[in-house]
Amino acid sequence: MALRFFSEGIHFKLPHPRKTSTWIKLSVAKEKAAIGHINYIFCNDLYLLGINREYLHHHDFTDIITFDFSLPGSREISGDIYISIERVKENANSLKLDFDAELHRVIIHGVLHLLGYKDKKSQDKALMRKKEEAYLSLRH
């Protein structure tokens, strides 16, 4: 079980990585799953835009892209989660939220994708948001 945090193209260090790791593990355990290997890569908008274009053929900025490497049918989740710190900051400002709160929402959002939750349809988005709120409440 490994949770790792990296930065690419920016100087960003996650505050309290141990506390964040414990929170992520607790959230995953509540879903009756386990962590295999999850890499969080914190980056800038241009870096994530390049990934978005190359792998997803989308041409717009996004705050997160999750690549799921979990084995089919396994309850052990693995993947790479790319997060644009610039986009998280901008979203936090426009939503009038604390940066730390928005960052953690995006962090758990990626994990929820690895757990199989979707967010394309409105009912899926509503469930995703409900799960995000439930797990964000476990942070303190």
The total domain count for the chain is 1
Query: Is 110 exposed, middle or buried (CB count within 10 Å of its CB: 0-12, 13-18, 19+)?
Result: buried
Per-residue model confidence (pLDDT) at position 25: 97
Q: How far apart are CA 90 and CA 85, in angstroms?
A: 9
Does the pLDDT at position 140 exceed 90?
A: no
Percent of the chain with pLDDT over 70: 99
The structure's pTM equals 0.95
Domain encompassing residue 104: 2-136
31: pLDDT strictly greater than 80 = yes
Burial 59-74 (b: 16+ CB within 10 A, else e): eeebbbbbbeebeeee
> What does DSSP assign to residue 52?
I
pLDDT, tens only, 38-68: 999 999 999 999 999 999 999 999 999 999 9
- Residue 88: the pLDDT is 98
Residues 6 or more apart whose Cβ sits within 8 Å of residue 45: 61, 84, 86, 87
pLDDT at residue number 1: 75
Specify whether the CB–CB gap between 139 and 132 falls below 8 A. no
Token pair 């928005």: residue = 102
Query: With the CA atoms of 71, 75, 79 and 85 taken in that order, what torsion angle do they form, in degrees rounded to the nearest 10?
Result: 160
CATH classification of the domain holding 41:
3.40.390.30
d(CA 105, CA 119): 14
CA distance 86 to 6: 15
